[in-house]
Amino acid sequence: MSKRMSKTMAAEIADRTLDVVNPQNRTLALSAALKRHGFVGSASVSTEQLTDRKALIDWLLATYSPRD
């Protein structure tokens, strides 16, 4: 993976995703935000993570900014 996600970017993406009122559309919003910022891959995130800001940020960082 060549691009790493910062904590600030993860928080911004999480906030924008959670702003979507319909929880069923949050996966689409998350996928669109990831593509817009140049992160490839599908958003395979659980329903619980799509309702909790901290869980979503943790998932984004673990997925797109793994520690070496």
Question: What is the predicted pLDDT for the residue at 43?
Answer: 63
Residue 11: Cβ-neighbour burial (10 angstroms; 0-12, 13-18, 19+): middle
How do residues 13-44 score in pLDDT, each as one tens digit?
Answer: 999 999 999 988 999 999 999 999 998 766 67
Ranges of each domain in the chain: 7-64
Q: Quick one: average pLDDT of 2-17?
A: 91
Cβ(17)–Cβ(50) under 8 Å? yes
pTM: 0.86
